[in-house]
């Protein structure tokens, strides 16, 4: 028996796993938490603990096919390369796109990004992380000059006040939540505040729950900023020495928020609750604000992030133990994708497509004169362009947009009429794979080999437990092979994931001592890592630089930011309500989210009987008053209709819902429930800065 250390493939907590392979032929494996991994110290949640039940070959995509006919790899790769080249030659590079995933390993992400942005010459590569945390990226970039999470898990244990804003961490980041619960047991002074329209499982440990009116978070945080100013609770020295833009931001905060009573009225809260929150924030130095999809998935998600960050800048509570604005990303490798520029508006190694110097630097490093020099289409706009026939070929990797995108029926129709749809995945029968002209089998968790970065910036190894099944290949290999056949032979000549990792690290270090060390994300030590050390790589917090060879626990401890003048920026925030308001025809606001025991579209968690037992079918939570008014009995079926589509769900009456607000989980697909696909209902409104969809506020 062979015990291998690897990383959980589900949420952004990034827990370490010890997998003992009992039988590699039948894929029998015993899973337990890695007691030495700093993310989880041996603990696993229900999803991670049942990973052993999900590694069978059931519903695995095992062989390449073209138009449903099994082919060998050479035929499949030649076909994809030739068709992409034909379409590019005829219509230009903007006529093709990649839509990728936070499930990809950093090495896969890097190679996909390099091919599209560096060699095809368009930035039409976006990722399902767009739906998850792209507003948080904008928030950090605007405030700090770079997309940088300042905090770590230890800060949760050192804090005396933790705000969970738009975050049901108990279900969506369970092991991080358990750390908060434990910290609260150890420190009776630690207060937890949940700011969420719903009373979720995270409220179990809350000292205060503020069921804020959907979409009003920015106003609430503007209220905190104004309160800090009015009550002399600012860190004026920090504001003067390390920030700019405070006067305008606080003026706008005062103007928009008004008194505690006005904030409470606008947010649908009691004045007493708002007053308590303001008072606790003002008087608790060690404050961490955790925010997640409830903030990000909004037409004003970026502004909400900056309203939160403003309050931390005003109190100097960043980069110090037990303090900071802490974005919780959803996916296992959303952060790795951010490092390699996986979003359509970013370039590799945290450089910018809008900066000619950065474009030039990456172009010279990659040895390509074709590099994209402007932002590509973000997810919703990308599928709109496919629907309009402007994009004629799309390659979708490790994700299921026909289920997860807003206005998902439109996405489905777009792919049905697209000239070329290539899907590479480890799963055979997804709603998206059914629309593919070419299917390419990728390795899955338990076979993949590379790195992921968790939400506290910790790089960990995913290691293979078994050889690849069937004809499956690693994503980086598939992309490289297509790139070589498209004519980019030298630049994609990788022999291993370690090869790709070294190049990614070398690019990160390339000319990185310029610009007054604005991008000190120096992975140069990793640029020389050999196969043995890559295999043995221990979890380490990015960035790893000359001064921080063991990684960096906390960012901005010195108050120096990545802006041109090294100062952080306050952003003036004018709160905006959700774009589409409920009306007489669509009187409810639909909120969407995750369940404790499922992950994404259930392609993996759906294989574990223990997990599906928790909630076996799609449901809608509704307040008892609304249910009575509509004559909906518990366990009856409700048809949920928006302007964009409809779904069916089992009625669950829950007093934890607000009156006028419904909640549905995101997980069911056309395969698992013919009418339970929530993406069909969700409005395709996006944040103007981040392009992130407003997935939590659709009138229905
Ligand atoms: Fe996996 Fe997240 Fe659960 Fe940890 S908390 S075991 S990373 S799903």
pLDDT value for 521:
45
The pLDDT tens digits of the residues spanning 647-690 come to 999 999 999 999 999 999 988 887 766 688 899 999 999 999 99
Q: Residue 314: which H helix or E strand, with range? A: helix 301-314
The residue to mutate among 6, 7, 8, 614, having the most atoms of ligand 1 within 8 angstroms of its beta carbon, is: 8
DSSP state of 631: T
Q: Which residues of the chain have pLDDT under 50?
A: 514-522
Q: Which of 71, 98, 57 is nearest to 397 (CA)?
A: 98
Within 6 A (CB) of ligand 1 lie 8, 10-11, 13-15, 40, 44-45, 47-48, 173-175
283 C-alpha vs ligand 1 centroid, how far in Å? Answer: 33
Helices 408-416 and 379-387: crossing angle in degrees, nearest 10, is: 50
Strand 619-622 relative to strand 698-699, pairing: unpaired
pLDDT of residue 672: 67
What pLDDT does 76 receive?
Answer: 98
Atom of ligand 1 nearest to the CA of 174: 5
Is residue 97 classed as helix, strand or coil in its secondary structure? strand
Q: Find out whether 27 and 54 touch, Cβ atoms under 8 Å.
A: no
Pocket test for ligand 1, best of 15, 54, 610 (most atoms within 8 A of CB): 15
pLDDT in tens, 234-286: 999 999 999 999 999 999 999 999 999 999 999 999 999 999 999 999 999 99
Looking at ligand 1, which atom is closest to the CA of residue 7?
A: 7
- Where do the domains of the chain lie, and which CATH numbers do they carry? 2-54 (3.30.200.210), 65-130+342-510+520-541 (3.40.50.740), 134-328+565-569 (3.40.228.10), 589-684 (2.40.40.20)
**pLDDT digits 0-9 by tens, 512-546:** 764 444 344 445 668 888 999 999 999 999 888 77
DSSP string for 417-486: T-SEEEEEESBS--TTGGG-SEEEEB--TTT--EEEE-TTSEEEEE--SSPPPTT-B-HHHHHHHHHHHT
Separation of alpha carbons 266 and 286, rounded Å: 28
Atom of ligand 1 nearest to the CA of 46: 3
Q: Relative to the CA of 13, which ligand 1 atom is closest?
A: 7
Ligand 1 pocket test, candidate residues 50, 153, 175, most atoms within 8 A of CB: 175
How many angstroms separate the CA atoms of 73 and 272, rounded?
65
For residue 45, give the ligand 1 atom closest to its CA.
3
pLDDT of residue 524: 61
For 389, which DSSP code? T
Stated length of the chain: 700
Give the residue from 576, 558, 580 showing the smallest Cα distance to 567: 558
ipTM of this complex prediction, to 2 decimal places: 1.00
pLDDT number for residue 513: 64
What separation in angstroms does the CA of 324 have from each of 50, 230, 288, 458?
A: 33, 22, 5, 17
- Distance of CA 331 from the midpoint of ligand 1 (Å): 10
């Amino acid at each position: 028996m062979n015990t291998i250390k690897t990383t959980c493939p589900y949420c952004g907590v990034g827990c370490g796993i010890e997998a003992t392979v009992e039988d590699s032929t039948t894929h029998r494996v015993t899973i337990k938490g890695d007691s030495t991994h700093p993310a989880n110290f041996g603990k696993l949640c229900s999803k991670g603990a049942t990973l052993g039940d999900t590694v069978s070959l059931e519903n695995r995509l095992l062989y390449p096919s073209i138009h449903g006919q099994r082919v060998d790899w050479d035929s499949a790769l030649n076909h994809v390369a030739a068709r992409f080249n034909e379409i590019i030659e005829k219509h230009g590079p903007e006529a093709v796109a990649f839509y990728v995933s936070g499930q990809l390993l950093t090495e896969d992400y890097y190679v996909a990004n390099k091919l599209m942005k560096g060699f095809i010459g368009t930035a039409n590569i976006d990722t399902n992380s767009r739906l998850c945390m792209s507003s948080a990226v904008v928030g950090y970039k605007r405030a700090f000059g770079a997309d940088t999470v300042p905090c770590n898990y230890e800060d949760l244990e050192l804090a005396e006040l933790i705000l969970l804003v738009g975050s049901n961490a108990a279900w969506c980041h369970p092991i991080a939540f358990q750390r908060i619960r434990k910290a609260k047991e150890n420190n009776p002074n630690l207060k937890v505040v949940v700011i969420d329209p719903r009373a979720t499982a995270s409220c179990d440990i809350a000292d205060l729950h503020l069921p804020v009116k959907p979409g009003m978070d920015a106003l609430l945080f503007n209220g905190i900023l104004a309160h800090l100013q009015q009550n002399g609770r600012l860190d004026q020295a920090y504001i003067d020495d390390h920030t700019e833009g405070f006067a305008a931001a606080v003026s706008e905060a005062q103007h928009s928020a008004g008194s505690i009573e006005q904030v409470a009225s606008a947010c649908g809260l009691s004045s007493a609750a708002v007053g308590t929150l303001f008072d606790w924030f003002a008087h608790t130095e060690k404050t961490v604000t955790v925010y997640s999809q409830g903030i990000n998935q909004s037409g004003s998600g970026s502004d909400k992030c900056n309203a939160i960050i403003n309050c931390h800048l005003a109190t100097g509570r960043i980069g110090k133990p037990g303090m900071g604005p802490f974005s919780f990303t959803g996916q296992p490798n959303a952060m790795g994708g951010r490092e390699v520029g996986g979003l359509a508006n970013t370039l590799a190694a945290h450089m910018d497509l809008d900066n000619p110097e950065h474009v030039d630097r990456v172009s010279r490093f990659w040895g390509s004169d074709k590099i994209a020099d402007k932002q590509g289409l973000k997810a919703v706009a990308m599928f709109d362009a496919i629907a309009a026939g402007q994009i004629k070929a799309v390659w979708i990797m490790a994700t299921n947009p026909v289920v997860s995108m807003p206005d998902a029926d439109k996405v489905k129709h777009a792919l049905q009429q697209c000239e070329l749809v290539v899907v590479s995945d480890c799963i055979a029968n997804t709603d998206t794979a059914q629309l593919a002209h070419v299917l390419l089998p990728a390795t899955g968790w338990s076979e993949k080999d590379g790195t992921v970065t968790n939400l506290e910036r910790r790089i960990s190894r995913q290691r293979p437990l078994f050889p690849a099944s069937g004809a499956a290949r690693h994503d980086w290999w598939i992309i490289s092979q297509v790139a070589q056949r498209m004519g980019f032979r030298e630049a994609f000549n990788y022999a291993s994931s370690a090869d790709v990792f070294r190049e990614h690290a070398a690019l990160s270090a390339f000319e990185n001592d310029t610009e007054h060390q604005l991008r000190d994300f120096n992975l140069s030590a990793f640029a020389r890592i050999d196969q043995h050390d890559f295999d043995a790589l221990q979890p380490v917090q990015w960035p790893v630089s000359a001064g921080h060879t063991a990684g960096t626990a906390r960012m901005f401890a010195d108050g120096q930011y990545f802006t041109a003048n090294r100062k952080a920026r306050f952003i003036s925030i004018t709160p905006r309500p959700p774009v589409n308001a409920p009306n007489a025809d669509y009187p409810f606001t639909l909120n969407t989210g995750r369940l404790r025991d499922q992950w994404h579209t259930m392609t993996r968690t759906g294989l574990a009987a223990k997990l599906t037992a928790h909630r076996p079918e799609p449901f809608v939570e509704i307040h008892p008053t609304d249910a009575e008014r509509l004559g909906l009995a518990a366990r009856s079926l409700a048809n949920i209709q928006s302007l964009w589509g409809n779904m069916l769900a089992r009625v669950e009456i829950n007093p934890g819902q607000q009156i006028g607000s419904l909640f549905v989980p995101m997980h069911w697909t056309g395969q698992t429930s013919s009418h339970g696909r929530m993406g069909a209902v969700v409005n395709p409104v996006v944040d103007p800065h981040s392009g992130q969809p407003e997935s939590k506020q659709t009138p229905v």
